[in-house]
Structure 1
Amino acid sequence: MKQSLRFQQKNLLTIILVLVFLWSLHVIDWKEPLLHPGGGATFLQIIEAIIHPDLSPEILLLALNSAWLTITYAVAGMTIAIVIAVVFGVLASGVLQSSQKPFSSLSKSFFRAILGFLRAIHELVWALLFVAAFGLTPYSAILAIAIPYGGILGRIFADMLSDVNNEPIQSLQSTGASRWQLLFYGYIPLVKANMISYTMYRFECAVRSSAVMSFVGLGGLGYQIQLSLDDLNYEEVWTFVLFLMAIVIVIDGWSSQWRSRLAKRSSRFSLLSFFISFALVVGSWMYLYVVEHASLFTLFTDENGQYAKKFFLSLLGVGEESPAFFSAQSWLPILQLTYDTLMMSIMAIGIATIVMLITVVPAARNVANGKLTMSRSPFHWVSFLLIRSSYILSRAVPELIWAMMIIFIFQPGILPGAVALALHNFGILGKLCAEVIEDLDERPIRHLSSSGASHAQILLYGVLPSVLPKFLSFILYRWEVIMRTTIVVGFVGAGGLGQQFKLSMSYFHYSDITLIIFCYLLLVWLADFLSELSRKIAK
C-alpha cells in the first residue's frame, strides 16, 4: 500500500513539474520575432568559428596570461572560502556545542542561517557590490568568490560532520577526550576524504566564477572573451573558451584521481596533490602582492571606509525621501520582474532536462561499450565521445558567457537568459545522470535489449523507472543553482531582475538595489524550500 502511494506521489510530482514547465512558456510572446534580423547569420558565424579558433602566437600568449589570472583569483577566493567554511561549518554542525538541546539547536540554526545568507547571493552580485563599495581592486573579485563559496562549502562540511557515525566518537569520548580532541581526532579524519573531494569540485566551479568577474571590469579569460565579443571576433572567443575548458578538464581529472587515491589510501599521490595545492596558494597570493601590487590592507583605509559606509547607507535608503522598498509604485514592477525571473529559471531547467533526456542514454559508458544493451557498434563510441564532449563544452562555459553570445542571436528578454542557463546546466545534468545509468543493475536492461527493444523503449521501460528518483533529485538541485544564477544573465540584457539590477547600479538607485536583492533572496529561498520538499517525495 505504501509503495503504491509513493509511486502515485512520484507520478503526480512528475506531472506537476511538466505542467509548470509548460506554464512558463506562456511568458514568451511567440507572435513576435524571437531572433535578431541577423541572428541566424550570427549563429552560423559563431558555430563556424569553433572549427578554426585563432591560434596565433600573440593570442595564445594572451590566453595563457589570462588563464593564470583566472586561476589566481579562483585560488585566492577558495583559500578564504575554506577558512570561512571550516569555521562556520564546524559551528553549524554542532559538534563543539554543549549537549543541552535548546542551546545546541539554537546555535546550529544561527550559524546555518549565516551560511544560508552567504551562499544565497550569486558571486557576481557580490562583486558588483564590492566594486561599488571598494573600487576596482582584485579583492572585489576574490571576496566575491570567497563569500558564497564559503557559505556553500560550510553548509556541506556541517552536514558531513553531523552525519558522522557515532560509534568511533563514543569510543573517543569514553577515553575522556575533549570536544576539540573529538573534532581533530574523531570527526575530521572520518570526513576528510569527502571534504577534499567536494572542495576540489567547488574549485572547478570557482574557476568558472572567476572567469565571469570580467563583467565588473576585472581581468582574466572572461574579460578577453567579452572584448572579443564586442569586436565580433568569434575565432578569438573560442580560443579563450578552449583555454577555460582545458582548465576545467585538468581540475576535473585531478579531482577524480585524488578522490580515487584517497579511497585506496594512496598517501604518495595525496601528498603530491597537497604540495601542488600549497604551491598554487602561495603562487597566487605572491602574484597578487608582487605583480598586481594588491595588498589586502588597502581595503581597510579611511578613504575606502568612507566610500563603503556611504554605499551601504545608501542601500538602506539613508538620505532618500522615499526609499524604493517603502514605495508601492516601486514594488509592482519589481514583483513582475520577480515573476519573470522565476519563469526564466523554470524554462531553463525544463530545456536542460529535455536535452539531457535525449542524450543521456548514449552518453553512458556501459551503453557505449555494449554491456547494458548487449550490442556493440563503433557508432555507439562515436556518439558517446561527441555527447560527452558537448557536456564538457556546455558546463565549462559559464552562464554569463553563454548569455553574452546568445544575446547576439535572440531578441532581448527572458528567452535568451533561459537558453543560456539551459546550455550550461544540460552538460552538468547530462554528466551526473549518465553516471547514474553507469551505476545501474544491468540485468533487467539486458533482458529488454535481448527481447528486441529499441533505444527509446529501453529508455522508457528499462532505464527511466530505475533512475527517475535520482534524476529528479539532480534536476531539482540544479534548479536551485539556476535560481541563484538567473540574476546574472540579466546583466547582459536577458531580462528579469538582473537587467533591472544593472540599470539601478548604473543610475545609482541604491534603494532599488536593496528591493531587488530582497526579492531575489525570496526566490532563492523559495526554490530551496520547494526543491527540498519535492526531493523528499521523489526518494
Structure 2
Amino acid sequence: MKSIFRMHNRFILTLVLAAVFVWSLFSIQWGTDLFHAGGIPTMLQIFEGLIHPDLSTGVLSLGIESAWITLAYAVAGMSLAIIYAFIVGILASGVLASNKTSRIISKVFFRGILGFTRSIHELIWAWLFVAAVGLSPYAAIFALAIPYGGILGRIFADMLNDVSAQPIKALKSAGANKLQTLIYGYLPLIWADMISYTMYRFECAIRSSAIMSFVGLGGLGYQIQLSLADLKYDQVWSYVFFLIGLVLVVDIWSNFVRKGLTERKRRHGFSTGWRSTFFAILLILGSWVYIRLAENAQLFELLSGKNFEYAKKFFGGLIGLNDRHPAFLDSGSWAAALKLTLETLEMSIMAIGFATIAAFFTVIPAARNIANGSLTSNKKWYNWFLYGIVRVVYIFSRSVPELVWAMMIIFIFKPGLLPGAVALALHNFGILGKLWAEVIEDMDPRPIQNLAASGASKVETFFYGILPMVLPRFLTYILYRWEVIMRTTIVVGFVGAGGLGMDFKLAMSYFNYTQITLLLLCYMILVIIADFTSESTRKAVK
C-alpha cells in the first residue's frame, strides 16, 4: 500500500513539474524577432570557429598561461574554503556542544552563516570584493572561498550528524571528551566521504574560477571574453578547449582519488594515497607562491587605509547611509524588483525543463550497461558508437560554464529570458545526463532482462522496466539541479539574459548601492524558496 502511495506521489509530481514548465514557456513572445538580424549567420560563424579553432603558437601559449591562472585561483580559493568549511561545519553540526540547548543554538547560528554564504553566487561575491578593495587576485580567491566554504560546510555538518551513534557511545563510555570523540570517533568515519565530496566541488571551482574574468580578473574566461568582443570565434573555441581540458584533467584525478578512497575503505579502512596527498600539497603551495610572486598580490595591502575607506563607503552605501530614499525602503522599487524575481524564476524553470528534455532523449545510449548489452541482453554494433558520441557531448556541455555559454548565445538571440534559459540548459544538460546515466548503470538488471526475454520492445522495456525503477532518482536530480540553476540565473543576466542579473549589473555600473541591496534581498528570498521547495519535494519522492 505504501509503495502504491509513493508511486502515486511521483506520478502527480511529474505532472506538476511538467505543468510548471509549460507555464514558464508563456513568458516568452515566440517568433522570429527572438533572433538578432544577423543571428543565424553569427551562429554559423561560431560553429565554423568550433570546427577550425585557432591553434597558432601565440594563442596556445596564452591558453596555457591562462589555464594555469584559472587553476591557481581555484586551488587557492578551495584551500581557504576547506579551512572555513571544516571549522564552521563542525560547529554547525553541534557535536561539540555540551548540552541540548547549546547544541540547538550552535546548529541554528552556524548553519545560518553557512546558508548565507552559500546562497550568494561566487560572481556576486567577486563583484562585491572588487567594488570594495579593487582588482586583486584575492578578490577572486575570496569570492570562491566564501560560497564554496558554505556549501562544503553544510555537507560536512550533515555528514557528522548522520554518523552512527554506536561507536560514539562506546567512546564516551570509555571516558573520551568532546574533542577526543570528534578526532577519534566522528572524523575517521566520514573522512573519506569528506575528501570525495571536496574533490567534486573542486571540479566545479575550476569552472567558477574561469568566470571571474567578468569582473576584470585574469584567466581563461578573460581571454574568452576578449575574443568574443573582437568576434574572433576561432580563438574563443581554442580557449574553451583549454578549459574543457583543464576540467577533464581534474575530473580524471578526482575519479582516481574517489576510487582509491572507496577501495581502501572497503579493504582495510581509510588511509590517503601518498601520491595524491603529495600532489595536492604541491599544487596548493605552487598556487599560493604564484599568486604571491608572479601576480604580486599582497594580502596586507587589502587592509590599507585607502582600501578601508573604499570598503567603508561601499558597504555603507549598501545599507543606505547618507541616502534619504534607499531603494529597499521604496514600494515602487520593490514592485519592480519582484517582477524581475518572477522573471528569474521563470528562466530557471525553463532552463531545467530544456535540460531535462535533452537529457531524457539522450540518457539511454549514454549508459554503459545499455551500450554493452548487459542490461537488456541486446548487443548492437552501433551502441558503443552512440555511447561515445553522447558522452563526449555531455563532457563538452558541462565543462563550459553557464556564463561562457551565455556570452556566445547572446550574439544569436536578442536580450531576454530565452538566451539565459538556453545557456543554463546547455551547461546543466551534460550534468543531468551524466547523473541519470550513472543511475541506470547502477540499477538491478534482472527485471529488465526478464522483460526483454519475454519479447518486450525497446520502448516497452524503457517505459515499463527502466523508467519506474529510476524515476525517483531522476526527479531528485532534477530538483537538485533546479536548486543550483536558481543560484546561477543572476549570473547569466550579466550579459543581457534578463532577470535580476541584468538589473544587478546596471545598479553596479551606476553605483546605485541601495538598489544592489534590494536585488540581493530578492535573490536570497528566491534561493531560500527554492531550497525549501526542493527539499520538501524530494521528501515526497522518497
- Using the alignment, how far apart are the partners of 2:93 and 2:534 within structure 1? 22
Identity of aligned residues (%): 60
Question: In the alignment, residue 142 of structure 1 is paired with which amino acid?
Answer: I
1:449 pairs with 2:452? yes
Question: In the alignment, residue 372 of structure 1 is paired with which amino acid?
Answer: L
- Using the alignment, how far apart are the partners of 1:47 and 1:453 within structure 2? 41
- Using the alignment, how far apart are the partners of 2:412 and 2:303 within structure 1? 44
Q: Which residue of 1 aligns with 2:130?
A: 131
Q: Which residue of 1 aligns with 2:73?
A: 73
Q: Deviations over 1:145-171 (max 9, x none)?
A: 000000000000001111111222222
Question: In the alignment, residue 95 of structure 1 is paired with which amino acid?
Answer: V
Q: Which residue of 2 aligns with 1:152?
A: 151
Question: In the alignment, residue 166 of structure 2 is paired with which amino acid?
Answer: E
Q: Which residue of 2 aligns with 1:221?
A: 220
Of 284, 287, 291, the residue aligned with 1:284 is 287
Q: CA offset at residue 3 of structure 1?
A: 2.5
Q: CA offset at residue 2 of structure 1?
A: 2.6
Residue correspondence of structure 1 range 102-181 to structure 2 within 5 A: 102-181=101-180
Of 274, 277, 281, the residue aligned with 1:274 is 277
Residue correspondence of structure 1 range 403-442 to structure 2 within 5 A: 403-442=406-445
Q: Which residue of 2 aligns with 1:399?
A: 402
- Using the alignment, how far apart are the partners of 1:394 and 1:21 within structure 2? 22
Q: CA offset at residue 31 of structure 1?
A: 4.0
Q: CA offset at residue 269 of structure 1?
A: 7.2
Q: Which residue of 1 aligns with 2:13?
A: 13
Indicate the RMSD between aligned Cα atoms, in angstroms: 1.2
Q: Which residue of 2 aligns with 1:238?
A: 237
Q: CA offset at residue 359 of structure 1?
A: 0.4
SS at structure 2 position matched to 1:318: coil
Q: Which residue of 2 aligns with 1:22?
A: 22
Question: In the alignment, residue 206 of structure 1 is paired with which amino acid?
Answer: A
Q: Deviations over 1:156-212 (max 9, x none)?
A: 000111111122222221221121111111111111111111111111100100000
Q: CA offset at residue 531 of structure 1?
A: 0.2
Q: CA offset at residue 270 of structure 1?
A: 1.3
Q: CA offset at residue 475 of structure 1?
A: 0.6
Q: Deviations over 1:315-341 (max 9, x none)?
A: 011111100011112111111100000
Q: Which residue of 2 aligns with 1:87?
A: 87
1:308 pairs with 2:311? yes
Q: CA offset at residue 454 of structure 1?
A: 3.5
Q: CA offset at residue 450 of structure 1?
A: 3.0
Q: Which residue of 1 aligns with 2:349?
A: 346
SS at structure 2 position matched to 1:265: helix
- Using the alignment, how far apart are the partners of 1:196 and 1:451 within structure 2? 45
SS at structure 2 position matched to 1:248: helix
SS at structure 1 position matched to 2:34: coil
Q: Which residue of 2 aligns with 1:521?
A: 524
Q: CA offset at residue 32 of structure 1?
A: 5.6
Q: CA offset at residue 456 of structure 1?
A: 2.9
Structure 1 residues 388, 142: closer, same or farther in 2, change over 3 A? Answer: same
Q: Which residue of 2 aligns with 1:379?
A: 382
Could you state the TM-score of these two structures normalised by the residue count of structure 2? 0.97
- Using the alignment, how far apart are the partners of 1:23 and 1:202 within structure 2? 33
SS at structure 2 position matched to 1:264: helix
Question: In the alignment, residue 361 of structure 2 is paired with which amino acid?
Answer: I
Of 282, 294, 302, the residue aligned with 1:299 is 302
Question: In the alignment, residue 420 of structure 1 is paired with which amino acid?
Answer: A
Question: In the alignment, residue 25 of structure 1 is paired with which amino acid?
Answer: L
Question: In the alignment, residue 78 of structure 1 is paired with which amino acid?
Answer: M
Of 481, 486, 498, the residue aligned with 2:484 is 481
SS at structure 2 position matched to 1:355: helix
Which sits farther off after the overlay, 24-33 or 275-284? 24-33
Question: In the alignment, residue 41 of structure 2 is paired with which amino acid?
Answer: A
Q: Deviations over 1:369-389 (max 9, x none)?
A: 111121212211111011011
Q: Which residue of 1 aligns with 2:206?
A: 207
**Residues 95 and 103 in structure 2, CA contact (< 8 A), matched pair in contact too:** no
Q: Which residue of 1 aligns with 2:260?
A: 261
Q: Which residue of 1 aligns with 2:57?
A: 57
**Residues 376 and 452 in structure 2, CA contact (< 8 A), matched pair in contact too:** yes
Q: CA offset at residue 18 of structure 1?
A: 0.5
Which sits farther off after the overlay, 48-57 or 182-191? 48-57
- Using the alignment, how far apart are the partners of 1:345 and 1:433 within structure 2? 20
Q: Which residue of 2 aligns with 1:364?
A: 367
Q: CA offset at residue 484 of structure 1?
A: 0.3
- Using the alignment, how far apart are the partners of 2:242 and 2:31 within structure 1? 40
Q: CA offset at residue 6 of structure 1?
A: 2.1
- Using the alignment, how far apart are the partners of 1:68 and 1:169 within structure 2? 44
Question: In the alignment, residue 437 of structure 2 is paired with which amino acid?
Answer: A
Question: In the alignment, residue 115 of structure 1 is paired with which amino acid?
Answer: L
- Using the alignment, how far apart are the partners of 2:65 and 2:294 within structure 1? 12
Q: CA offset at residue 268 of structure 1?
A: 8.8
- Using the alignment, how far apart are the partners of 2:460 and 2:46 within structure 1? 36
SS at structure 2 position matched to 1:158: helix
1:33 pairs with 2:33? yes
- Using the alignment, how far apart are the partners of 2:522 and 2:460 within structure 1? 44
Question: In the alignment, residue 289 of structure 2 is paired with which amino acid?
Answer: M
Which sits farther off after the overlay, 283-292 or 5-14? 5-14
Q: Which residue of 1 aligns with 2:186?
A: 187
Q: CA offset at residue 94 of structure 1?
A: 0.9
**Residues 504 and 519 in structure 2, CA contact (< 8 A), matched pair in contact too:** yes
**Residues 54 and 238 in structure 2, CA contact (< 8 A), matched pair in contact too:** yes
- Using the alignment, how far apart are the partners of 1:530 and 1:175 within structure 2? 43
Q: CA offset at residue 103 of structure 1?
A: 2.2
Q: CA offset at residue 453 of structure 1?
A: 3.4
SS at structure 1 position matched to 2:297: coil
- Using the alignment, how far apart are the partners of 2:272 and 2:181 within structure 1? 27
1:472 pairs with 2:475? yes
Q: Which residue of 1 aligns with 2:325?
A: 322
SS at structure 1 position matched to 2:96: coil
- Using the alignment, how far apart are the partners of 1:407 and 1:452 within structure 2? 49
- Using the alignment, how far apart are the partners of 2:384 and 2:48 within structure 1? 25
Question: In the alignment, residue 300 of structure 2 is paired with which amino acid?
Answer: F
SS at structure 2 position matched to 1:319: coil
